Structure 1
Amino acid sequence: MHIVVIPSWYPKSEHDVDGIFFRNQAQALQRAGCTVGVIAPMFRYLRSEPASVFAGPYGLRRHRQGGLNTYAYDSMYFFPRCPIVDIDRIRWVNAGLAAFERYIADNGRPDAVHAHAMNYGGILAHAIYRRYGIPYVITEHSSIFARNLVRRNQWPSMHAAAQNCSARFAVSRDLCALLQQKYGLDWQYLPNILGSNFAEAFTFPDKTQQPFTFCSVAHLRQLKGFDILLPAFAQALQQRPNMRLNIGGDGPEAAKLRQMAADLGIARAVSFADRLKTDEVLSLMRQSHAFVLASRTETFGVVFIEALSQGLPLIATRCGGPESIVNPNNGLLVPTDNPAALAQALIDMHDNPNRYSPDTLRQNCLAEFGEAAVTGRLKNTFSRLIANNKP
């Protein structure tokens, strides 16, 4: 079967991790025997890349990223938060239609479209359906619903796209319930897929002689809760002074968080790394005993299953996505914005190093989030809708 994947955001390069879970799933479908193409409008933000207004790039760009036949369309958001009409989304969809038209001219008509995230990707998939009659599936990943960030002028097109798609998935059970409430339509739980690098076999290193080390990997911004994690770790460190915390990632909160660690007097036990590549994330996790992230909201949390795949138990907050991943057999859940509860979880994890079997954590992760589990469900869905769509 021939599937076109439409992500609402996408990695800019082979090493970029922003939206990498979209690419991981597309690659998995390709390895499972599907013909897969990617349509990816790549719009830049004026605030973050002002010099590129004149320098570009602009227009259609055909290339292979991660082994995938990718049709990108480069441009820039010029009209953010337009109150009457979402002009930038219209431009994004039109760019995607232009890329899709060129794609089918070069590669033929696909059997189905898989859009990731309703706002933008789902709207484009609906536009393709109206123009070409190609059925589409939507998987929702975005936190805009939980954060009430959908603007009034965006909603009608999103609702129409949801009504006309052949299947609706969401990446956590909590998100399914929220979307059912918002749209009045049924949604099915389908988790994100584990990247192939994390599924590769490896030998668990001996960490018995190391200080008990937590790792945390995320974009350093307010939603990820590092301003809660650091005070919680400081509290736990007072009782368990041999613990360590290694943080991987970069972002707008980086300087503030480094200063916070110094002000809390824990700089000796906390290390910060800049943005990490996949192999560096793997190395960080394999040198650690457990993973912790204190997010304020998550629709899924790919980094949690990445940590499980490396045999690490989890500490997470009840913020939407982790509840579909974390259970008593693989970790601990605590309330959001609660340093005391998080500190106690850190101590509990430290004091019970043999509670979780690394090999069992890994095997259970692969069984639920590995390629075979997720792509099998997707291929069955595509087969049904393609059969129902035959002339």
Structure 2
Amino acid sequence: MKVLIFPSWYPTPDSPINGIFFKEQAKSLVRKQIDATVLYSEAWSIKGFKLFDPNRGTAVQVEDQVPTYRYKDYNYALNFIQNAAGKQYLKRIKKLYLQYKNQYGKPDIIHAHSVLWGGWAASKIAKEEGIPFVLTEHSSSLGRGLLSDSQINELRQVYQAADKLIAVSPSLKILMQSLVPGKAISIIPNIVDLSHFTLKSPKDLTGKFRFFSLAFLNKNKGMDILIEAFAKSFKGNKKVELIIGGKGQEKENLMQLTENLGVSDMVHFRGELDRVKTAEEMKKANAFVLASRYETFGVVYIEALASGTPVIGTKCGGPEMIIDSSNGLLVDIDDVAQLSEALRYMERQAKEYNPSELRENCLNRFGEQIVVSEIIKIYEECR
């Protein structure tokens, strides 16, 4: 079975974690003997424009066992022109598609990840070529109110056009159904490459009780709430620390917040972490915590549980699919008092969670074999 994958975002040398779960899903499909190929329009910031850039144009290579076609060029789309980004994406993807088609013929399936703009381009090409089209939605933009009316209309049209629709969580399915009432939507979580995330041992833990958090440092991830709750619970307690991984525009503000709250010596920022370093931090942590304001899923919770680390999350959409009383705690969004209480509880009770059971239950629910089998079943239903 030949499958073309159109991701709306994807890892690049500058952002190796961006869309990593799309790449991991493609790798899993290849391991299952699916002839999967990725087509991606890699748009660079116009700020770094060079008239004669040798890296512009089409690049084809095998990346981690996955044949990958990239169209690399600057982002010339003007924000004030409606759907300019989508039209640019479609034009570039069409070039990649024709190159693939000329060499291998039509694919059996096109599988796009998120509407804007991989899914939008996929719907156009699938219609022109008469190819079944699967769409998995991941984006939190609809739930966070970040889309314009025209973009919401694009979502509605692409959802309606898809032969099969997939949501990565029940909460996202509900949002999608509000745009296409009556349309069947399957729930299949993201595939997470857990090869780096092995079970912790007691020797991995430091002397202090360590909370770990990892996210892109923007307003949505709620790091401000986490720092406030941490300070409320543990200020002055030198036996507890908070490690924060990730980069983003809020980093300076968050560092200043730790100064203002008097916990700068207890909260440590690690910067952007690759998978190996993330796995190391997960094993060193007594508990993982993330206070997001909205999530469609929550890959980091899976990575923590696979390491045998209990978790604290918020009731913000995705985490409810992952976290229950057997593996952690859920608190309300933006509730410093509740989160503070959860942190104190976890500091007392984390040792009561069995790391082996946390990992085993996680793999049984979210392991690669489980998830990829569901995806292949969707493909077979399209043929």
Whether the 8 Å contact between 1:24 and 1:196 is mirrored in structure 2 is: no
* Structure 2 CA distance for aligned equivalents of residues 284 and 240 of structure 1: 21
Residue number in structure 2 paired with 1:164: 161
Checking the alignment, whether the CA contact within 8 Å between 2:200 and 2:308 is kept in structure 1 is: no
Conserved 8 A contact 1:6-1:125: yes
Match of 1:389 in 2: none
Q: Is the 1:240–1:347 Cα contact (8 Å) retained in structure 2? A: no
Residues 86 and 14 of structure 1, relative CA distance in 2, 3 Å threshold: closer
Q: Which residue pairs with 1:180 in the alignment?
A: 177
Which residue of 1 is the match for residue 255 of structure 2? 258
Distance 1:217 1:87 in 2: 33
Q: Distance in 1 between matches of 2:210 and 2:372?
A: 34
The letter of the residue matching 2:326 is: N
Structure 1's 120 and 12: CA in aligned 2 closer, same or farther, altered over 3 A? same
Please state whether the residue corresponding to 1:268 is helix, strand or coil: coil
Partner residue in 2 for 1:137: 134
Matched, 1:368 2:348: no
CA drift of 1:44 comes to: 2.4
Counterpart of 2:355, as a letter, is P
Provide Cα deviations, 1:296-344, integer angstroms capped at 9, x if missing partner.
1111111111111101111111111111111111111111111111111
Aligned to 2:122: 125
User: Structure 1: which amino acid aligns with 2:374?
Assistant: R
SS in 1 for 2:22: helix
Partner residue of 2:30?
Answer: 30
Give 3-state SS (helix, strand or coil) of 1:197's partner.
Answer: coil
Measured in 2, the distance between the counterparts of 1:182 and 1:77 equals: 29
Q: Give distance in 2, aligned partners of 1:37 and 1:207.
A: 39
Task: Kindly state the Cα deviation for residue 264 of structure 1 after the two structures are TM-superposed.
Answer: 1.3
TM-score between both structures, scaled by the size of structure 2: 0.94
Q: Name the structure 1 match of 2:44.
A: 44
AA paired with 2:193? G
Q: Compared with structure 1, are the counterparts of its residues 382 and 15 closer, same or farther at alpha carbon in structure 2 (3 Å cutoff)?
A: same
Q: Answer yes or no: is the 8 Å Cα contact 1:318–1:334 preserved in 2.
A: yes
Alignment of 1:94-133 (within 5 A): 94-133=91-130
Distance 1:87 1:207 in 2: 50
CA 1:14–1:135 in 2, change beyond 3 Å: closer, same or farther? farther
Indicate the residue corresponding to 2:70 in structure 1. 72
SS in 2 for 1:63: strand
The aligned residue for residue 82 of structure 1 is 80
Q: Report if aligned partners of 2:331, 2:342 keep a CA contact under 8 Å in 1.
A: yes
| Counterpart residue number, 1:381 | 378
- In the alignment, what sits opposite 2:324? 327
Displacement of 1:183 after TM fit?
2.3
Give 1:58 shift: 2.9
Moved more, 73-82 or 142-151: 73-82
Q: Is the 8 A contact 1:110 1:134 kept in 2?
A: yes
The CA deviation string for residues 199-218 of structure 1, in whole angstroms up to 9 with x for no partner, is: 5x555243566211110111
Distance in 1 of aligned mates of 2:123 and 2:188: 21
User: Which string of whole-angstrom CA distances, capped at 9 and with x for unpartnered residues, describes residues 139-178 of structure 1?
Assistant: 1000111022222333444323212212111111011011
SS in 1 for 2:79: coil
Q: Is the 8 A contact 2:30 2:65 kept in 1?
A: no
Query: Who is 1:291 aligned against?
Result: 288
Structure-1-length-normalised TM-score:
0.92
Preserved contact between residue 229 and residue 342 of structure 1 (Cα < 8 Å): yes
Contact 1:3/1:114 (8 A) holds in 2 = yes
The number of residues matched between the two structures is 381
Contact 2:282 2:309 in 1 (8 A): yes
Whole-angstrom distance in 1 between the partners of 2:349 and 2:48:
52
Q: Secondary structure at the match of 2:309?
A: coil
Is 1:347–2:344 an aligned residue pair?
Answer: yes
SS of the residue corresponding to residue 352 of structure 1 reads: helix
Residues 284/55 of structure 1: CA separation in 2 closer, same or farther (3 Å cut): farther
Between the aligned partners of 2:73 and 2:326, the Cα distance in structure 1 is 46
CA distance, structure 1, for counterparts of residue 147 and residue 136 of structure 2: 17
Distance 1:55 1:318 in 2: 49
Contact 2:41-2:72 within 8 A present in 1 as well: yes
- Provide structure 1 residue ranges, at least 5 long, that are not aligned to the other structure: 387-391
In the TM superposition, residue 99 of structure 1 has moved relative to its aligned partner by 0.7
Q: Which residue of 1 aligns with 2:17?
A: 17
Q: Among 174, 188, 191, which residue is 2:189 paired with?
A: 191
Contact in 1 for aligned 2:310/2:350 (Cα 8 Å): no
Aligned equivalents of 2:151 and 2:14: distance in 1? 31
* Higher mean displacement: 273-282 or 155-164: 155-164
* Among 58, 61, 64, the residue aligned to 1:63: 61
d(CA) in 2 for partners of 1:203, 1:252:
32
1:5 aligns with 2:2: no
Contact 1:140 1:170 (C-alpha < 8 Å) held by counterparts: yes
The 8 Å contact of residues 315 and 333 in structure 1, kept in 2 or not, is answered as yes
Asked if structure 1 preserves the Cα contact closer than 8 Å seen for 2:205 and 2:286, the reply is: no
Q: Distance in 2 between matches of 1:207 and 1:286?
A: 6
For 2:279, the equivalent position in structure 1 comes to 282
Partner secondary structure for residue 294 of structure 1: coil
